[in-house]
Amino acid sequence: MADADDDNKDRSNQQRQRRRPKVRELVVSARQQLEDLTGRRVSSVLGFEPDGDNGGYEMTIEVFELERVPETTSIMGSYRLKLDEDGDVVDYRRVRRYNRSQPDEDG
């Protein structure tokens, strides 16, 4: 009887301590999710950090809002994403829209 209880406890502990996704996996997945949600192509990842409040993550991603030729005249958007602990996008919003050749006014 004790062996069965120990086995159940071990399985329960393993489920709680499941492998957390690697940063690269999270970034690749979040990029794809944002492209699927917005229908826009991701240009780059500008930032990634753990969100200590909920065990998830926050990311900033740059996307092509309007692609033009030459590419320096494209309109870009900066999006802030919130991911849950599994890496699924649970919230996103555009925080900035700008011409690609426009210098960064925040830095």
DSSP state of 85: T
Which pLDDT value is given to residue 52? 80
Measured between alpha carbons, how far is residue 102 from residues 36, 53, 60 in Å?
27, 34, 18
- 81-105 tens-digit pLDDT: 999 999 999 999 999 999 998 867 6
Kindly state the average pLDDT of the residues 49-76.
92
Q: pTM of the entire structure?
A: 0.76
How buried is residue 85: exposed, middle or buried, by Cβ count under 10 Å (0-12/13-18/19+)? Answer: middle
- 8-21 tens-digit pLDDT: 666 555 555 667 78
